[in-house]
Structure 1
Amino acid sequence: MAATPWLLLLCLSLAAGGVLQARAQPDSNGFISIDCGLQGEEGYVDTATKLSYYPDTGFTDGAGTCRNISADYITPSLCKGMYTVRSFPSGPRNCYTLRSLVPGLKYLIRAKFMYGNYDALRQPPIFDLHIGVNHWHTVNITKPHVEKSVEAILVVPDDFVQVCLINTGAGTPFISSLELRPLKKTIYPQVTAAHGLLLSERINFGQIDENNVIRYPGDTYDRIWTPVVSSGTYTEVSTTSKVIPDSLFEVPTTVMQTAMRPRNVSSGMSLSWDPEPQPNNPSPGYIIIMHFSELEFLLFNVTREFSINLNNEPWHPDNIMPKYLYGAAIYNSVPSWKSRYDISIIPTVRATQPPIINAIETYTVVTTTNLGTDSLDVSAIMAIKVKYQVHKNWFGDPCGPETVMVWDRLTCSYATTSPPRIIRLDLSLRGLNGDISSFFTNLKAIQYLNLSNNNLVGSIPDALSQLTSLTVLDLSHNQLNGAIPSRLLKRVEDGSLNLRYGNNRDLCANDNSCRLEPKWKSNLAIYIVVPVVVSMIVVIVVVVLFCSLRRKRQGSMNNSVEPQNEATTSYVPGNNAHRDSFSLHQLESRRFTYEELKIITNNFQRVLGQGGFGYVYDGFLEDDTQVAVKLRSHSSTQGFKEFLAEAHILTWIHHKNLVNLIGYCKDGEYMALVYEYMSEGTLHEHLEGSKHNGGRLSWRQRLRIALDSAQGLEYLHKGCDPPLIHRDVKASNILLNARLEARIADFGLSKTFSGGNDYVSTTTLVGTPGYVDPEYHATMQLTAKSDVYSFGVVLLELVTGKPAVVREAAPINIIHWSRQRMERGNIESVVDARMCGIYDVNSVWKVVEIALKCTACVSPQRPTMTDVVDQLQECIELEEGRTIEVGNNGFYTSGGSDNPDLSYNAYIADQSSDSTTFQTEHGVKRVHSMPTGPATR
């Protein structure tokens, strides 16, 4: 979600909530720490972590009730955050909203619960937890004194996340505390945009103090490490020396400084647990992460070596030899599903020392693929909610989960690969006061809007006419005044809008202020009885049908027939004066009439996008082929010349990386181009996050898009005769199909050059700010290197995820923004955080270098597109070489990045996974265990 709408909402909330809302923000560490149910405005500092906890007032919509647990359950060891709860006796869903986050970053989210008989009913509840529209966990409180913690690590797609409590009919949901911690994007590689990790257990072996729970500040990410102490069979091993952590999990040195091993060299170690089924996941798969470090300095003739089995089969293909004071992790990336998990750590025949283990983490996998409502729709409807104080069942995501939690009096459309959109909103009889909010105009997919029978005042916003999908607008029975905007009247006249505005006493007070042109097909519903002469209607219908049939017959007989009274127009592409004249007669593509376009697009119902030429509409041909129809707007600055240029060029040239033209329309004043349908929209939409994947294109996908686009431009420069300069290369002119294959689009400004000249003199500067070649800007001489410059800007957008003009304290071109950071030698400060660190660093460096060469101020210093294509292919080879060949079933070993001798830092194998309930052999005592975790034996 874009930050700006939420910033506006934040300001609105600040006006209402004052200092409380100001505290509903991350602290200097990026942490959010909430004591749910804490009353008053003051927070406190936790004695153990020294972190500040605040009341939850600024994070909820004021729903719920603050309660104290029974004094019978308050003990000296109970942390203060468990003293109070917020319960939610009303509504099926109540949510906490955590804002000011970094989209695409990984976060640890932890919710804690202690019933404590706060309601004096002695009936612990069962309820569901959701993160956004995705199920997180079913909370089953079994005993009043038990503390339950539910923790997940996931990628947050927007600049906010919602944690929702769902009433399932088994008791009143409640919560004691809620914590959010940002993580470095490179750790926990199993966490992706599609899958998160739900903690089962996080254990620190070898502690001698059963109360020594390690969390912040010992763990900079505030993970909670539960100590396990031995009762005799195992021996604790420890060191005071610093242990260098591995880079993928960054286990704190205080955890890695202790370990546990058997007393005898020949003895092994065993860990066991049974899966913990969930109602929505009866057979959970598990991810297991085991941490090892040698803590004893071993002489050359002393060997600690062991293997790891799962259910009596090798879990790891190689033997393990931990390195002295270097942390390393063995983990699986693909979850496994087993009826029981028995892990054995067994010494090899060469071992002279028993095996060792420092820590272990086990997780189940939670799916995060359910899409929340379109971010622009969310920001609009939330602003409407705040303005009109709508609360009834307006909590959480507006459209999801589908059929279960949709907001009251709101209807959404759902697609498989794109976020839900709000298409109907009925706020009639809701006591709305004030003017008609401008945020209604941000509901771009709305088809039906009913604001009738309220107390709305002021005029009707003209911007409502821009809602191209809107077919019914009911404003009747309010207190509106003034005139109906002319553009709304025009839509009423052309039949695209049914407008109801009766019973607004001061609306249309001037007799001429709402007058329509005298068209019989007007849909204006003003509840006035108009006498109609039946015979005249019959005559009109007959005439219309006759004309329509005649036009269709003409179109079907010859798709190239010119409209009557239209002069044939010749077009000479580019500056090539010797090229034969060209007219619409010579186009090979199909010609459509305007009436046919209306049928194809269902009366231009669904808008796919908008550009300088006009709107682009979704359509289907007779054979159900999906197409995109770009219809010229009457207000467009691009005229017949640009229309004809693009139609001609796309008929003349063909390449797999150029958009395919299916047909065109030149019907009187109507001009349109019909293209192949590109289901994934523009590259710009993906990078800005308005597409469903929220900008989370992988680096490999971005490289492939870059190469596809470069090959398209190379064809224009080298493969065409005469060659073409595109002149408007930018991310919004790169379209993506369902396989994310890229096509260059929009050739209305293109120019040819030939005859030995490598430039074209122009009199008018065209292009998009941020992409325009400065040399072209200064000299007005256009070259193929001008396209190279613009493509370099696109490359930087692919790397950084930033727009061509970066909006920070002051607007700055992405080239300067990138150069400033590259000079520091830190690639991470440049790369889009939404890629979560999953990329080959060398390939990223190379792409940035290519981009900076492309954007050199002097064109001779820039490479050709052929050079760019060759170098991008090398980048793809580097990226493809990043992943070492997968072993048997997807296991990995990671080690300390500073240890050159680490012997098991390769990609490993087997299909095992999370863990929930641990049992260690021979009387190991586990303390401070999580309720979902393992039981010892």
Structure 2
Amino acid sequence: MEEPTTGTTAMMVPWLLLLCITAAATSGALQAHAQLESNGFISIDCGLPGQTGYVDKTTTLSYTTDAGFIDTDAGVNHNISAEYITPSTPTSLHSVRSFPSGERNCYTLGSLVSGLKYLLRGKFLYANYDGLNMLPMFDLYIGVNFWTTVNISASDVEVYAEAIMVAPDDFVQVCLINTGGGMPFISGLDLRPLKNKLYPLANETQALVLLHRFNFGPTDSHTIIRYPDDPHDRIWFPFVDVENWVDITAGEKVNILDELFQPPQEVMQTAITPRDVSENIEFTLDLESFPRDHSLGYVHTVYFCELQEYPSSNALRQFYIYRNGVLTYLQVYTPPYLAGDFVNSLKPFQASQYKISLNATAKSTLPPIINAIELFSVISTTTVGTNSQDVFAIRAVKKMYQVQKNWMGDPCLPETLSWDNLTCSYNSSRPPIIRIVNMSFNDLQGGISPDFAALKNLQSMDLSNNNLTGSIPEALSQLESLKFLDLSNNKLNGPIPSGLLKKVQDRSLDLKYDNNPDICTNGSSCQPERGSNLAIYIVVPVVVIVVLLLVAMLYFCLQRKRKQGSIKNSVKLKNDGDGNSSLGLESHRFTYRELETITNNFQRVLGRGGFGCVFHGSLEDGTQVAVKLRSHSSNQGVRQFLAEAQVLSRIHHKNLVSMIGYCKDGEQMALVYEYMPEGTLQEHIAGMQVVN
């Protein structure tokens, strides 16, 4: 039904506060198994100790502890003072979780469906749980959007904050913000799925915050209607004024056809009418106790149903509907008999007060009637949180490293509450993104989280001065915007990914990795570099020992075959035309005179052994070599020398020196090797200082 804009004043009568009425419940034991019930409900008893929940016997709803919905180190559990527990105090309000530290603390409710509509409700009963008798005031946020201010007016007052909103993602966060008015706390948290046709003014850009929801007709202030009578678990509080109103109750079922609000039968089967039939219905609902400016306005729904048969054919119930003195329904209204009906806002209206007047027409023989009313303020939900992929990634990082800073709620918004160690980039046309992560000196343990690679817009990351172990993830190479990466002063090992090395080479990345003794800087091969003692101490000794064993075994076999005469010697000698013997190998053959030139007349001695001395030399192209010259006093014969040369010429390994050539010039015999400047294996095993 259509409704024009707002008006001014009307007669004021006593009003009741929604937030000051209590609800009754009893409970039984239940083991909490899952976050969602089969109907999609989430019912959390905040501050309930342990892991065991219960079933409320009045509502039959299953309540669970808040473990798993909030960080384990967030908040402190308390029981309310026993003096405030009465038979009508719901079990779900017997405990609270308070938040003495942190400016923002958030609950995360998951398993939602993005784009669907939900009822979200927070419950608060202070009841002097901390023994301080200091009534707090603090803010609530739905994600990054302001929800309401929780203002505890008395220790025994139950405060309910309720909103109808569209989920922007598959989860929603409820955050308590310490604004300096006292320590935030919460008693319970509920989430109920709604059909998307319900409450059409709740959409992707705005949510409805409940101010009042009243059921007219009950005479007992404890007659509260909720689940299972209301399948959506809305809480309908009684509006009682026995002095001025007469309650009407229908004995028959009311036909409720509307798909926009669907009030429960029990609400539509009761109504009120003036005790004096010549009077009208007028009342005022409070706006002043809600301290924030609701600049987007208000919306309401007023429910009607005729519950009485007219006493005669001339009887008529007919009235006008006014809000703040202005006609809101342009036609004369007559409620339908035993059929639910409503008059609602088609758009938000502005008002400084809310007064309803139902005035009988001159033709009406019966006074006005009303069954129920809902009043909401409208809040904006257009503020979009941080890029969802960034949120997913940084929360995974938080979980892996058990970060205990202010990492609660949205990483970037509000800007005043953005997470420590993160720098975000803000753009009015798109969600914020994470640009810089600085987690140095955070005592991070374990490996580098692969989830860092999901921060696609990351430009700088500093993980230095922690206790990180393991290898550097190759996935970090995929961060196209990354310009700076500091991994220094950790315990990382293995090769630097080739993708990162390429970025370093093309100067698109500044990479720091010093003081990680086990990192290889030359790609996946991890080949030891000059100056790398790790490769010499570990890789080379193992490989050399294995090769020497193979050489010894081969030499033993050759000697044995020669003595037995069963086969010819495997090293073939041939005449090269100058009366000397050649090995018939591909290695370069040096003359003795060439060796004199190479070694500068055998000036620098590198070492001595049973074969003879080893001299330092340099080829014409500058290649440094080691020349192993056979001494005339050596007991190693020509055939042994040739056998060693034959074997070494066939063995090639990246961790062994290569044989460059040989010399067999008359009686002069020598082997020419690649020069290794780090000293001998024996010296390194013994820990000796090498002097080049």
Normalised TM-score (structure 2) = 0.69
Tell which structure's C-alpha radius of gyration is larger. 2
The change in CA–CA distance for 1:512 and 1:369 in structure 2 (over 3 A counts) is closer
**Structure 2 residue aligned with 1:89, among 85, 100, 108?**
100
What is the aligned partner in structure 2 of residue 349 from structure 1? 362
The change in CA–CA distance for 1:279 and 1:343 in structure 2 (over 3 A counts) is closer
Separation in 2, partners of 1:265, 1:195: 41
What's the secondary structure of 1:420's corresponding residue? strand
The change in CA–CA distance for 1:509 and 1:134 in structure 2 (over 3 A counts) is closer
Separation in 1, partners of 2:473, 2:277: 82
Q: How many Å apart are 1:211 and its aligned residue?
A: 2.1
Where does structure 1 lack aligned partners over 5 or more consecutive residues? 1-19, 516-937
Separation in 1, partners of 2:524, 2:125: 68
1:373 aligns with 2:386: yes
2:294–2:378 contact (8 Å) kept in structure 1: no
Per-residue displacement from partner, 1:860-901 (whole Å, max 9, x unpaired)? Answer: xxxxxxxxxxxxxxxxxxxxxxxxxxxxxxxxxxxxxxxxxx
The change in CA–CA distance for 1:25 and 1:448 in structure 2 (over 3 A counts) is same
Higher share of residues assigned helix: 1
> How many positions carry a matched residue from both structures?
495
1:478 aligns with 2:490: yes
**Structure 2 residue aligned with 1:458, among 463, 470, 484?**
470
**Structure 2 residue aligned with 1:209, among 201, 208, 220?**
220
Separation in 1, partners of 2:219, 2:134: 37
Look up the equivalent residue of 1:121 and give its one-letter code.
L
Per-residue displacement from partner, 1:430-458 (whole Å, max 9, x unpaired)? Answer: 11122211111111111111111112222
Separation in 1, partners of 2:45, 2:136: 20
Separation in 2, partners of 1:291, 1:497: 66
Per-residue displacement from partner, 1:749-795 (whole Å, max 9, x unpaired)? Answer: xxxxxxxxxxxxxxxxxxxxxxxxxxxxxxxxxxxxxxxxxxxxxxx
The change in CA–CA distance for 1:284 and 1:119 in structure 2 (over 3 A counts) is farther
What's the secondary structure of 1:158's corresponding residue? coil
What is the aligned partner in structure 2 of residue 502 from structure 1? 514
Q: How many Å apart are 1:209 and its aligned residue?
A: 3.2
Separation in 2, partners of 1:111, 1:440: 34
2:305–2:338 contact (8 Å) kept in structure 1: yes
The change in CA–CA distance for 1:291 and 1:504 in structure 2 (over 3 A counts) is same
The change in CA–CA distance for 1:122 and 1:372 in structure 2 (over 3 A counts) is same
Separation in 1, partners of 2:487, 2:68: 34
What is the aligned partner in structure 2 of residue 254 from structure 1? 266
What's the secondary structure of 1:43's corresponding residue? strand
Q: How many Å apart are 1:123 and its aligned residue?
A: 0.8
Separation in 1, partners of 2:70, 2:326: 49
1:302 aligns with 2:315: yes
Correspondences of 1:676-691 after superposition (within 5 Å): none
Separation in 1, partners of 2:396, 2:522: 33
Correspondences of 1:34-53 after superposition (within 5 Å): 34-53=44-63
Find runs of 4+ consecutive structure 1 residues off by over 3 angstroms.
20-24, 263-266, 277-280, 298-301, 509-515
1:265–1:347 contact (8 Å) kept in structure 2: no
**Structure 2 residue aligned with 1:447, among 456, 459, 470?**
459
What is the aligned partner in structure 2 of residue 624 from structure 1? none
1:21–1:58 contact (8 Å) kept in structure 2: no
What is the aligned partner in structure 2 of residue 703 from structure 1? none
Q: How many Å apart are 1:382 and its aligned residue?
A: 0.8
What's the secondary structure of 1:419's corresponding residue? strand
What is the aligned partner in structure 2 of residue 313 from structure 1? 326
Correspondences of 1:727-766 after superposition (within 5 Å): none
1:391 aligns with 2:404: yes
Look up the equivalent residue of 2:519 and give its one-letter code.
L
Q: How many Å apart are 1:273 and its aligned residue?
A: 3.3
Separation in 1, partners of 2:57, 2:242: 30
Higher share of residues assigned strand: 2
Separation in 2, partners of 1:157, 1:144: 35
1:56 aligns with 2:69: no
Separation in 2, partners of 1:212, 1:21: 30
The change in CA–CA distance for 1:276 and 1:23 in structure 2 (over 3 A counts) is farther
The change in CA–CA distance for 1:259 and 1:21 in structure 2 (over 3 A counts) is closer
* Superposition CA RMSD, Å: 2.0
Q: How many Å apart are 1:349 and its aligned residue?
A: 2.2
Per-residue displacement from partner, 1:656-694 (whole Å, max 9, x unpaired)? Answer: xxxxxxxxxxxxxxxxxxxxxxxxxxxxxxxxxxxxxxx
1:128–1:138 contact (8 Å) kept in structure 2: yes
Separation in 2, partners of 1:376, 1:340: 44
1:292 aligns with 2:304: yes
What is the aligned partner in structure 2 of residue 109 from structure 1? 120
What is the aligned partner in structure 2 of residue 223 from structure 1? 234
Q: How many Å apart are 1:265 and its aligned residue?
A: 4.5
Separation in 1, partners of 2:522, 2:166: 56
The change in CA–CA distance for 1:267 and 1:279 in structure 2 (over 3 A counts) is closer
Separation in 2, partners of 1:430, 1:143: 43
Correspondences of 1:236-251 after superposition (within 5 Å): 236-245=247-256, 246-251=258-263
What is the aligned partner in structure 2 of residue 429 from structure 1? 441
The change in CA–CA distance for 1:278 and 1:213 in structure 2 (over 3 A counts) is closer
Separation in 2, partners of 1:271, 1:441: 60
Per-residue displacement from partner, 1:221-271 (whole Å, max 9, x unpaired)? Answer: 100001123413322111122212221000001100011112444421102
1:24–1:59 contact (8 Å) kept in structure 2: no
Of structures 1 and 2, the one with the larger relative CO (CA 8 A, separation 6+) is: 1
1:324 aligns with 2:337: yes
The change in CA–CA distance for 1:469 and 1:278 in structure 2 (over 3 A counts) is farther
2:496–2:524 contact (8 Å) kept in structure 1: no
Separation in 1, partners of 2:160, 2:125: 9
What is the aligned partner in structure 2 of residue 139 from structure 1? 150
Normalised TM-score (structure 1) = 0.51
**Structure 2 residue aligned with 1:189, among 200, 203, 216?**
200
Sequence identity (%): 54
Look up the equivalent residue of 2:407 and give its one-letter code.
W
2:453–2:479 contact (8 Å) kept in structure 1: yes
Q: How many Å apart are 1:369 and its aligned residue?
A: 1.3
